[in-house]
Chains A and B, each alone.
Chain A
Amino acid sequence: MAAPALALDGVGKGFSDGRRYLPVLENFDLAVAPGEVVAVCGPSGSGKSTLLNLIAGLLAVDDGRLTLREGDMVHPMHGLAPAARAAVRRRLVGYVFQFFNLVPTLNVLENVRLPLALNRRDDLAPRALERLEALGLGDVLHAFPDTLSGGERQRVAIARAVAHEPAIVLADEPTGNLDPGNSDRVAGLLFSEVERLNCAMVIATHSEAIARRADRIVELDC
């Protein structure tokens, strides 16, 4: 196996409600190779979203080691300050949410160019435009999110997640808010984009159909 794009080694994370500490992940290990897709399944509250947020550096790990790799460069995320984690995240991670999460004040093209602007990678803009065309969004480039359908919005979200060609794509229930027809189409596009970029993907899902398309399934228990 090639050096993993992402590695979690004995990671623990929990939350406190002010009176007691509630562990969500304990001593959790995971390694995902470039080009590999891992589906994370489990009931609500099992820690799927927490795992994704830890990988993205939106949350800090309590215990263990978490590293992201970019070519030969290894980025340990554990012990980093929020700003340092944000700097790694903006370059290495693409995130797709369940509820589309487009910036309402930016149009389709601008939403997709946002990660390029943050990474100062305007050289990738022509390729991002191509992907938008390929995703069937060529006619709505200057439309604002509130005028798009759910399927269109999620396709924009996918285009944005891969625009800066990240090492890892994280998808949190990316089809959870779509009808079955759109769900299949969006999932197909997401998988094909990840394959095209040969990046790692961790996808949290309740959908057996999507989980079956992954290279590996990780089950989380409550």
Chain B
Amino acid sequence: MRLVALGFARFFARTPWTTLTALLGVSLGVASTVAVHLISLSVAGSLEANRAPHLGGLTHLAERRGATMSDYFELRRRWRGGELPDVLGLVPMVDGRIVAGGRRFHVSGADWLALYGLPGEGRGGGAGSRPGSIVVDAGLLIAEGDRLRLGGEEWPVAGVVDSGVGDGLFADIGDALHILNAPPETLSRVGVAARDPWARLRSWLEALLPGLSAALPEGPAELRFSSGGTSGATGNANVAPADWELRPVSFEQPGARFANSILFNLGALGTLALLVAWFLIYQVSVLWVRRQSPVLESLSVLGASRRELGGCFLLAVASLGALATLVGTVAGVLLAELLSEISTAGLEAAPVPEMSSEVVAKALISGVGIAAVGGWMAFRRWGRPVSRSLFTAGRLISCALALATIAVGVGMEETGLAGGFAAILAAALLTVSLVGPLLRAARRLAVAAPGGLLTRLAVREATWFEDDVGTALGALVLAVATSVGVGLMVDSFKIDFERMLAQRLAHDFYVESPGGNLSAMTRSFAEARPQARSQAYGNLRTRIDGRIVEVGHTDFSRAEAARYGHGAALLPDEGLASESLLRALNVDIGETVDAGGAPVRIAGAFSDFGGVVPRLLMQNETAARHFGVLHFTGLGVSGISRSALEDRLAAVAPGAGVRQRDRARARALEIFDRSFAITNALTLLALTVAVVGLYNAMMGLRLNRLATRELLASLGLTAAENRHIELVRALGLGLLAVLLALPLGLAMGAILCGVINPRAFGWSVAMSLPASALALPVALGFAAAVIAAVAPSPAERVHAS
């Protein structure tokens, strides 16, 4: 059998171009996997480093109205007595607001000693709030090492995190009580570290691909928090029936869920190139097996068993996969750095992590795995009749399963991101399985194709050789469809985003002063510059039904409300809710929510793309009534020159920043484009692998058409006529690919806009059908087919004349 294996190896060496293209395709697939993993690790690292330090290791927060430290000790006594079996640890916490030095702070304190030792503790990247020091949110624009004077004492800033709280200040509980000037008995909530039933799967999925665990439910679905039984679960909120109210800790970190969703989407897209590469290796293996078929048959006659022959073939293919892994891993590291550079455009970003054994193992499994599985599936077909029937039991069952997966994944919101992506995968596989039947139907139509004889010949050749081009065509369909789907989603998103910017950025200039109060300046403008129009905006953070919500307030005249798609001025106790707030609180327009201890009626909803924290907008008067003193942090100004504005600012609000509308808009769009740079790069990578696959298929087709080409040469076919045949055939294949890719791409776009986006980020995107999103991938599909058809294959070239 050593000789057989040697024979296979020599066969690969004698078909160097086919072998090289297979190597290239699988290497690109592995490179994509490695690059996405490294980038995801980098993003996940940044995310962990920015986790609010007082929440490290916690899964839930328990609250009870009027609770004191005595209640915490009582709870701890019950826990230690074994009454709370699913709880791993309890942490007393306080929080409150102070104003110091003209700035507002949201102070949070947790018992550092109780946090110590919990699973996941210290994930705050070393920015933990140890006694005697504080950690601040990046939104406060305070640097690490600075000192803040609070509660009559100076506190060193031990770390800065971007926790999404904005004005957060984190400290040990004793220090927080001191800063808040609160009595020692004060208790705001109790942090709970619960046993996560998904912990093992979550950790396995994270090892597989950072962010992938975002597809799982957040933390334990149900938590036994009293000896009396299990808590009743409402979605992810666990409510203890006894006396404590439980909420998942993710309520405190809206940004974390957001970032995890991005990672998940990135990971799902990253596997696409690998899937296309699998198609490639399968198709190459089919070709190799077919070309080696006479040898295999001879060896079989000599007594070699199918198992032995298969083993040798797999060994040869897996060796190729191993080589591709090596090349792909190195290329993946370079690609990760390149993509990271593209997506950050030179801005400071977390460095791409070093290679780890985990990444190498994943690359090896990807490269060798797809090579071995693709080779095995191809070898299985050798010597066995291939069913061409459309209605085999297996095919019907597969179709039924795919349709069921799509229905469940799209229809049941509980299936989350995993359900949405499973629906996309099922739709893709269903469509790819239609390539064979489509080729057969097209073959029947091609018999009556119009045009000259050479054109007819070329058109028929595009449909005739299912075994040669079927798999590669499937891969091209997948790549083009993804390009269409992702393109539709990004373009639709951008149209909505631009519309939102056009509505919101109504003033010529925006003045921002996070630490200062601009209300005085508003008054000053009204007096000094009657021709200038200005509007002050304020915001504050509160909790509604346990979730952190940003409350925005301004003078909501009819014009201002119209910018949020609402037709009338807001009435007292009315609010406009962001789409993400409606989803988070599970409320609809017309219903009321409790904001600041009083009800606010949701009069309308608006899209707030890119807003991580759910928002509620209301009139200044309503906010003042519900939350006390107002705090204006932004000012929109029109009808004044920039220099005049800056002069005025220097007088009343030194330190305030000015942004011009056009620049703000351009900056927002730049960030938008950069956000999708990696997405576009990965789609392009998958398309490249598909081109390589189709090129390989075309090469096989040329070799199998050797006799026809010799015959045509004997009839005096010129090189130009031969190119005509190749081109028409390529366009025919491109047309078939596009015919299947367009509906699949539209379906993918619809699922991404209508299912994945709402589930991942809380907003839905109205799917538009911009010509560019369709035209570019369609052109790319045709171009891919043409490139694959006309690209030379020097080592195995056959001349026409």
- On A, residues with C-beta under 8 Å from B are 56, 58, 82-83, 85-91, 93, 95, 97, 99, 101-107, 110, 113-115, 117-118
B801 touches which one: A86, A102, A104 (CB < 8 A)? A86
Residues of A within 8 A of B710 (CB): 97, 101
Is chain B's interface secondary structure helix, strand, loop, or mixed overall? helix
Q: Mark B713-735, 1 if CB is under 8 A from A, else 0.
A: 11111110100000000000000
Q: How far is the CA of A8 from the CA of B5 in the complex (A)?
A: 49
CB-based contact A117/B453 at 8 Å: yes
Which partner residue on chain B sits nearest A110 by CB separation?
B453
Residues of A within 8 A of B801 (CB): 58, 82-83, 85-86
Residues of A within 8 A of B553 (CB): none
CB-based contact A56/B714 at 8 Å: yes
In chain B, positions 682-718 with a C-beta closer than 8 Å to chain A are: 707-708, 710-718
CB-based contact A106/B716 at 8 Å: no
Q: Which of B223-231, B386-394, B454-462, B539-547 contacts A (4 or more CB under 8 A)?
A: B454-462
Residue B452 is within 8 A (CB to CB) of chain A in the complex:
yes
B718 touches which one: A86, A95, A103, A105 (CB < 8 A)? A86
Which partner residue on chain A sits nearest B443 by CB separation?
A105
Q: How far is the CA of A56 from the CA of B717 in the complex (A)?
A: 12
Residue B198 is within 8 A (CB to CB) of chain A in the complex:
no
Known contacts: A99-B707, A117-B452. The answer to whether A105 contacts B460 by CB under 8 A is: yes
Residues of B within 8 A of A93 (CB): 714, 716
Residues of B within 8 A of A101 (CB): 707-708, 710-711, 714
A89 to chain B minimum Cβ distance, whole angstroms, is 4
A29 to chain B minimum Cβ distance, whole angstroms, is 24
Residue B464 is within 8 A (CB to CB) of chain A in the complex:
yes
Q: Would you give 22 A-B contacts (Cβ < 8 Å), ordered by A? A: A56-B714, A86-B718, A87-B718, A88-B716, A89-B715, A90-B715, A91-B716, A99-B707, A101-B707, A101-B711, A103-B457, A103-B711, A103-B712, A105-B457, A106-B456, A110-B456, A110-B457, A113-B453, A114-B453, A114-B715, A117-B452, A117-B454
Residues of A within 8 A of B713 (CB): 58, 86
B597 to chain A minimum Cβ distance, whole angstroms, is 79
B186 to chain A minimum Cβ distance, whole angstroms, is 85
8 closest cross-chain pairs (CB), A and B: A90-B716, A105-B460, A86-B801, A117-B453, A95-B714, A89-B716, A101-B711, A86-B716
CB-based contact B716/A105 at 8 Å: no
CB-based contact B716/A87 at 8 Å: yes
Range class of the B interface residue count: 20 to 34
A200 to chain B minimum Cβ distance, whole angstroms, is 17
Residues of B within 8 A of A106 (CB): 453, 456-457, 460
Which partner residue on chain A sits nearest B799 by CB separation?
A82
B708 touches which one: A90, A91, A104 (CB < 8 A)? A104
Q: How far is the CA of A85 from the CA of B716 in the complex (A)?
A: 8
B716 touches which one: A102, A103, A118 (CB < 8 A)? A118
Residues of B within 8 A of A110 (CB): 453, 456-457
In chain B, positions 48-91 with a C-beta closer than 8 Å to chain A are: none
In chain B, positions 436-492 with a C-beta closer than 8 Å to chain A are: 447, 452-454, 456-457, 460-461, 464
Q: How far is the CA of A199 from the CA of B799 in the complex (A)?
A: 29
- On B, residues with C-beta under 8 Å from A are 447, 452-454, 456-457, 460-461, 464, 707-708, 710-719, 721, 799, 801
Residues of B within 8 A of A102 (CB): 711
For B452, B453, B799, which residue has the most chain A Cβ atoms within 10 angstroms?
B453
Which partner residue on chain B sits nearest A87 by CB separation?
B716
Which partner residue on chain B sits nearest A101 by CB separation?
B711
Residues of A within 8 A of B716 (CB): 86-91, 93, 115, 118
CB-based contact B453/A105 at 8 Å: no
CB-based contact B717/A97 at 8 Å: no
Residues of B within 8 A of A103 (CB): 457, 708, 711-712
Q: How far is the CA of A102 from the CA of B712 in the complex (A)?
A: 9
Q: How far is the CA of A99 from the CA of B715 in the complex (A)?
A: 15
Residues of A within 8 A of B714 (CB): 56, 58, 89, 93, 95, 97, 101
Known contacts: A101-B710, A101-B711, A103-B711. The answer to whether A86 contacts B717 by CB under 8 A is: yes
CB-based contact A105/B461 at 8 Å: yes
Q: How far is the CA of A58 from the CA of B713 in the complex (A)?
A: 7
Residues of B within 8 A of A117 (CB): 452-454
Q: How far is the CA of A93 from the CA of B464 in the complex (A)?
A: 29
CB-based contact A97/B460 at 8 Å: no
Residues of A within 8 A of B460 (CB): 105-106
5 A-B pairs besides A86-B801, A89-B714, A105-B461 with CB distance below 8 A are A58-B713, A86-B718, A87-B718, A88-B716, A93-B716
Residues of B within 8 A of A114 (CB): 453, 715
Q: How far is the CA of A89 from the CA of B712 in the complex (A)?
A: 11
CB-based contact B711/A118 at 8 Å: no
B715 touches which one: A83, A105, A118 (CB < 8 A)? A118
A154 to chain B minimum Cβ distance, whole angstroms, is 13
Q: How far is the CA of A105 from the CA of B799 in the complex (A)?
A: 20
Q: How far is the CA of A102 from the CA of B715 in the complex (A)?
A: 11
B93 to chain A minimum Cβ distance, whole angstroms, is 76
Q: How far is the CA of A107 from the CA of B454 in the complex (A)?
A: 13
Residues of B within 8 A of A104 (CB): 464, 708
Which partner residue on chain B sits nearest A105 by CB separation?
B460
Residues of A within 8 A of B707 (CB): 99, 101
B290 to chain A minimum Cβ distance, whole angstroms, is 16
Which partner residue on chain B sits nearest A117 by CB separation?
B453
Residues of A within 8 A of B719 (CB): 82-83
CB-based contact B718/A83 at 8 Å: yes
Residues of A within 8 A of B453 (CB): 106, 110, 113-114, 117
A7 to chain B minimum Cβ distance, whole angstroms, is 20
B162 to chain A minimum Cβ distance, whole angstroms, is 63
Q: How far is the CA of A58 from the CA of B800 in the complex (A)?
A: 9
CB-based contact A95/B715 at 8 Å: yes
Q: How far is the CA of A135 from the CA of B714 in the complex (A)?
A: 22
Q: How far is the CA of A71 from the CA of B716 in the complex (A)?
A: 20
Which partner residue on chain A sits nearest B447 by CB separation?
A107
Residues of B within 8 A of A118 (CB): 454, 715-717, 721
Q: How far is the CA of A117 from the CA of B464 in the complex (A)?
A: 22
Which partner residue on chain B sits nearest A103 by CB separation?
B708
Q: How far is the CA of A99 from the CA of B454 in the complex (A)?
A: 22
B717 touches which one: A90, A105, A107 (CB < 8 A)? A90
Q: How far is the CA of A83 from the CA of B713 in the complex (A)?
A: 10
Residues of B within 8 A of A115 (CB): 715-716
Q: How far is the CA of A104 from the CA of B799 in the complex (A)?
A: 19
For B464, B715, B718, which residue has the most chain A Cβ atoms within 10 angstroms?
B715
CB-based contact A105/B464 at 8 Å: yes
Residues of B within 8 A of A83 (CB): 718-719, 801
A101 to chain B minimum Cβ distance, whole angstroms, is 4
Residues of B within 8 A of A105 (CB): 457, 460-461, 464
Residues of B within 8 A of A88 (CB): 716
Which partner residue on chain B sits nearest A53 by CB separation?
B714
B702 to chain A minimum Cβ distance, whole angstroms, is 14
Which partner residue on chain B sits nearest A172 by CB separation?
B714
Residues of A within 8 A of B799 (CB): 82
